[in-house]
Amino acid sequence: MTRKIKVAVVGLGKMGLSHFSIVNAHPQVECVACDATGFLIDVLGKNVKNKLYKSYDKMLEEETLDAVVIATPSRHHATMVRAALDRGIHVFCEKPFCLDWREGDALAQLAEEKGLIGQVGYHYRYVGAFREMQRILETGALGTVHHVLAEAYGPVVLRPKRQTWRTQKAEGGGCLYDYAAHPLNLLNWVFGAPQVVSGSSLNSIFSTGTDDAVISSLKFPGGASAQLSVNWSDESHRKMSTKLSFIGTNGRMNVDRQECQIYLRKASDAFPDYKEGWSVRYTTDLTEDPWFYLRGEEYSAQIADFVEAVAAGETTARENGFRSAAMTDQTISMIVDDAGRPGSAAVTPAPAVVATKDSGGRGWRSLFGR
Amino acid sequence: MDRLLFGDNQFFGINHMSEEKARAQAMRFQSTDAIMAVLDAAYDAGIRTFMCTTHDRIAEIGNVVRANPGRYPDFIFYPCMPYAHKYANAVTDLGMMGAITNFMPEDGFLRTALSGGKALAGRDIEGIAKVLIDAEMKMFRGLNTPVIFMQNVFTDLLLGMGYTRALKVFHDHVKEKYGAEPAFITMNMPMLFEALTEEGIENPIICSNINKIGFRMSGGRDRYIETLKTGKLRAIAMSVYASGAIPPEEAIEWISELPNVQSIVFGASSRGNIVNTRDLVEKYMGLGTSQAAQ
């Protein structure tokens, strides 16, 4: 048994309260919390045993922390993460990581130099079916993957509504940052950073300050292309539903939170547990029960990885490290750039990737006669 | 409590295995008539208790039952609250404070206090909780609701934070105002049982996953069995088939050997499946006179 660690949960909004509950229930953790909303701290202060703070700086000053879990609005992430790293504190930060991906990269650099764990809350990488997806792709059982349809739909903005930070693009709100970030992060996991992003549009349906739907085409090194279709104004889905559909030379694979369906033209020696034709694996079979369950195993599993890595004295994140989250921030910014320049494709900023084979937007342009 | 309770997940597109199946169910059960047809089949098979979320559509079921006392003389509702999506959406729309204010009565003291940003005392928070419970209960007016549940997302959020005082507030209000048995749904049964005991809640009704393969039994199947063997509680088992992973007869036989499991809650969409489960439960656990086959 490793030692008990002290973790602060910062920002008690929708995600933050859930993190507070999960972290606090972890047997290896002594938990404190911080939120700038006085009302919430007053209520909780009378009813929970934890030490609570209204000021992040004061908390950093007074507590000797091993780690922080940051779940404040996205525009605060960079400053708060840096303040923690500067004090030698490990960091778990909610997604999206930083609104400027260069800042995310710099924080990754800082964490690496200091030997601190920096992890970001892309919880889909902890869903059984998506882990299975990654395992299948790594064996090469699908052959060469040439196309992916990456989708996410759900009911968030269903009518014109009051403005909050989640509806402000400049604050990291909007469907692109909130929803599309997840399938993009999964694409980054599989293929790395895109070389070219084209045909992007950020559409407002009900929102005035930001986008409610995102469409984009991404081209990856090695030739695979992805079509992104995301919409958070879709109430035909009961809750957020993320789906990736891969087509490869040896078959097809459809993955969502519940299941991983795979069709193989030929069974693969490297992958004996899947037969020729259709096979299905369910998240329920692929998931181990956590010590504590709230809303889904993946939320507990990502915190468990973080807490255990910190307690064990590790120096890098086991999954969803700052670098990979910054890659997703960068992919997001390529889509923003592309959408702002109709008719042209956004190319990866140097020096991440070398030359690209084509403009990436040929089909799209010829279709519309541009 | 009856031995067999009927659940509502299948009516609202909730399926732990497949989004395709969930969508097919959502399509099939778009009309209240389609839901009533299945509830009728369950009722006629002797399964009279409907354990249901305080979803808007449940109000329509309540209306049908209320309007037909001759058809449903013994129909029992076990409300499960809150319907979390409603509150989550309100928080997204209005922020935490705005959402709470929004659910308070127009002219009440609490709305005025909240809108004015006045500091709230502990008893005010309890007042807010009670108003929210009463709002959820409105759709059941005039119906038989002898047991009232707190939903697992809410129970477990409070449990993890250690805000167990709120569980006691719910418990007391349900008893005092509705003369009903308070109950809790959880995905963390052993931990909840300990917390309720510490709050002085004796012999609680706890509904949780209990199944042979340990599916979604957080803290481990062994701890669940230990709690059932050593604790004083009235357990309701859900996910007994683990979403179809366990053959029905094997699943029910295993449950029947556990102490303190008073009821099983299950969902089904066809008369055949309803009757199969009823017959298996009758064979291994007995149904009692109230639920004997008709």
Helix, strand or coil, per DSSP, at residue A298:
helix
Percent of chain A with pLDDT over 70: 89
Both A13 and A84 in one domain: the answer is yes
Is A356 domain-assigned? no
Both A219 and A130 in one domain: the answer is yes
Both A116 and A259 in one domain: the answer is no
Cβ-defined contact of A47 to B165 (cutoff 8 Å) = yes
Which residue is it, tokens 């990269």?
A: A105
Average pLDDT over residues A141-167: 86
Cβ-defined contact of B161 to A238 (cutoff 8 Å) = no
Supply the pLDDT for residue A270.
Answer: 78
pLDDT digits (tens, 9 = 90+) for A176-212: 999 999 999 999 999 999 999 999 999 999 988 889 9
Long-range CB contact pairs, A114-117, < 8 A, 24+: A114/A85, A114/A88, A115/A315, A116/A85, A116/A88, A116/A89, A116/A90, A116/A91, A116/A315, A117/A67, A117/A90, A117/A91, A117/A92, A117/A306, A117/A309, A117/A310, A117/A314, A117/A315, A117/A316, A117/A317
pLDDT beyond 70 at B123: no
In chain B, how many domains are there? 2
In chain A, how many domains are there? 2
Both B166 and B111 in one domain: the answer is no
Both B57 and B112 in one domain: the answer is no
Percent of chain B with pLDDT over 70: 93
CB of A288 less than 8 A from some CB of B: no
Cβ-defined contact of A21 to B125 (cutoff 8 Å) = no
CB pairs under 8 A between A and B: 117
pLDDT digits (tens, 9 = 90+) for A309-368: 999 999 999 999 999 999 999 999 999 999 988 665 666 655 443 333 333 333 333 333
CATH code for position A56 = 3.40.50.720
Nearest CA to A13 out of A74, A66, A55, A67 is that of: A74
Which residues from A are below 8 Å from B92, CB to CB? 14, 156, 164, 166
Domain housing B89: 83-142
Domain housing A238: 125-290+329-347
CB of A22 less than 8 A from some CB of B: yes
Is A359 domain-assigned? no
pLDDT-wise least confident of A276-290, B69-83, B250-264, B273-287:
A276-290
Average pLDDT over residues A80-97: 98
Percent of chain B with pLDDT over 90: 73
Supply the pLDDT for residue A76.
Answer: 95
State the best of B161, B168, B188 to mutate against chain A, taking most chain A CBs within 10 Å.
B161
Both B150 and B123 in one domain: the answer is no
Query: Looking at this predicted complex, what is its ipTM?
Result: 0.92
Supply the pLDDT for residue A227.
Answer: 98
Is A366 domain-assigned? no
CA distance A68 to A121: 13
CATH code for position A281 = 3.30.360.10
Average pLDDT over residues A301-315: 97
Looking at per-residue pLDDT, the higher value among A291 and A165 belongs to A291
Both B160 and B266 in one domain: the answer is yes
Is A253 domain-assigned? yes
State the best of A69, A289, A291, A300 to mutate against chain B, taking most chain B CBs within 10 Å.
A289
Supply the pLDDT for residue A370.
Answer: 31
Both A203 and A117 in one domain: the answer is no
Both A217 and A308 in one domain: the answer is no
Supply the pLDDT for residue A160.
Answer: 82
Both A299 and A235 in one domain: the answer is no
Cβ-defined contact of B93 to A161 (cutoff 8 Å) = yes
Supply the pLDDT for residue A166.
Answer: 67
Nearest CA to B126 out of A38, A46, A279 is that of: A46
Which residue is it, tokens 């507590």?
A: A63
Supply the pLDDT for residue A359.
Answer: 37
Helix, strand or coil, per DSSP, at residue B258:
coil
Cβ-defined contact of B97 to A257 (cutoff 8 Å) = no
Both A296 and A264 in one domain: the answer is no
Helix, strand or coil, per DSSP, at residue A263:
strand
Both B101 and B44 in one domain: the answer is no
CATH code for position B226 = 3.20.20.100
Supply the pLDDT for residue A363.
Answer: 33
CA distance B135 to B172: 16
Supply the pLDDT for residue A345.
Answer: 62
Looking at per-residue pLDDT, the higher value among B290 and A256 belongs to A256
Which residues from B are below 8 Å from A289, CB to CB? 214-220
Which residues from A are below 8 Å from B93, CB to CB? 161-162, 164
Both B36 and B176 in one domain: the answer is yes
Average pLDDT, chain A: 90
CA distance A313 to A301: 18
Both B166 and B259 in one domain: the answer is yes
Both A15 and A86 in one domain: the answer is yes
Both B207 and B280 in one domain: the answer is yes
Helix, strand or coil, per DSSP, at residue B125:
helix
